[in-house]
Structure 1
């Protein structure tokens, strides 16, 4: 799948053709950690937030295995919500002067992207953010 920037991001797979829940979860975790690292905010406390969100999504995925393709976007939203409660808006939009967070679209769907809602344009696939504003935006 294309991340919108010409790079390819591989869907999770396994040797026998079936994707396990753990493979889905670890791939989603890797994608959100890549975005946090790209914005230089992947410290220990933040990684703990990711792990907490991942454990909740593990339960969700056990209940609805057909939703596996939605896990990366949902995990990104979970982490974004957790960061908002503690640190402020993340990730900040690199396109606009007025600080605002990027949104995950689709909210429930495959191939999630970070999107600037102010301009209505995709910025990067979840897992493919590049450097940009590293601080958190105001919570309000």
Structure 2
């Protein structure tokens, strides 16, 4: 199995996005004086959910894609999935702050949510198919 260099590169980019989301939440906490929970502050709650949503999906997706890369799966597929994930995760926070039922919400929250779920499903199904195609007991 090879080191997943492509996935590692995108993991670093996604790590920076997570850091930015963290700073975004902390800055809002400092501005509002809310140290725990959301203090019933709508903007803080939305920013916290954008951060939480990122941490709910991105780690598992990175694991799945790294395993695919380690199994020498198609690098075009791997790169495409990772590019889609990065774009979706950059768009999503803007959708979280959008007015309810606005075009901004549909474009920047709905599309990234569907894209993220799509990447998760494609990565999981592809990995499962790869694993099931390897003869039992064969390592390496």
Please give the range of the TM-score, normalised by the shorter of the 2 chains: 0.3 to 0.5
**Larger strand percent:** 1
Length-normalised TM-score, structure 2: 0.36
Larger helix fraction of residues: 2
Instruction: Give the number of the structure whose alpha-carbon radius of gyration is greater.
Output: 2
